[in-house]
Amino acid sequence: MPRIKTSRLTGLREMTPADRRAAVATAAGLDAQDVAALAGAGALPEARADGMIENVIGTFELPLGVATNFIVNGREYLVPMAVEEPSVVAAASYMARLARAGGGFQATSTRPVMRAQIQVLDVADPQASRDSLQAASGELVAAANACDAVLVGLGGGCIGTEVHVFETSPVGPMVVLHLLVDVRDAMGANAVNTMAEAVAPRVAQIAGGRVRLRILSNLADRRLVRASVRLTPDVLDTETLAGSEVAQGIVEACALALIDPYRAATHNKGIMNGVDPVVVATGNDWRAIEAGAHAYAARDGRYTSLTRWEIDADGALTGEIELPMALGLVGGATRSHPAAQAALRLMGVESAAELAEIVAAVGLAQNLAALRALATEGIQKGHMALHARNLAIAAGATGAEIDRVAHAMVDAGEITAQKARNLLNRS
């Protein structure tokens, strides 16, 4: 798949949507069919939508934007983002632009291993059941792999088992067997669920109990992605603050998220503002990503930040993120939704791991944007300025009227629906 030469596309904000599509298509080498799919009109025919979910009555559209300026592991990326919230795409793009001076983002990912859980109840001796299941691990791995010769042929498949014992629960003691499955470029739900169903009768027999659940876990803690960035203080300078002050403010703002779950919830929501739109645009399961991320943030028994920001010995601001990332390039909407396929071609990704690394970088960029705003003018100023555009549109403004009404509300310091109506009526 061809790589773009640069994601530094200037002037997109001033272009019409059609001109933006043309600029992005030229940069990414997209054909007319992909451009049409990204435009949205008729991208998902009703007949195809009817085959994707039940009781279809239509389709629901979200704005699809493109984040620019991203460099991840030395490669340039244009990143599609499907999101309704103002400021998200602009913030990610701006932070990626600041990061370019230091080479952009670095990212790594672990092997794409998912878990399937098989719950065994009515066990007379949980510890003895655990020992028996551990002794039969090789047999169970072989049985699981017999279910998916294609996955095994691609270098994936079940690679091992774990056994967890719960001595007490609302329904008594239980033993839970985990199948650990390398799912390659798939999200993996279908593969691991099929394996769990297949081996469950033998698991029950070995453990001497009764199987109930046979299902994947969305806490994909064996399928992690990490991203990092380093910014020298000069790129953080503002009109009123030195970059070193901004960097210190970012570190201090992150510190509260590290120790306080009330702040961490909002802090991590801001991270997911960057993560989810890319996951949605590429046809992946954003709910699974959300569940895994928040569970991972509480893995030590206390909910905390998914990122960490520090100032290094040279005075540069450094940030890191780590979270589970169960994404796929095959199966599901990634294969059935034309716009999702076009989005993947726009990015030029060649593996699920590469996609996960980009998504983590976008999440880190979004977190940086939020912390930078909190450390400088405050989050509300930028949010309300963008909110003014939505109010102008809701009041009936179109074309150039939108910016005129929005700017007038900001200048007046009165960003309300009534003010928008009043300004529009005066024109």
Active site residues: 85, 269, 285, 383
Instruction: Put residue 393 in one of left, alpha, beta given phi > 0 → left and psi -120 to 50 → alpha.
Output: alpha
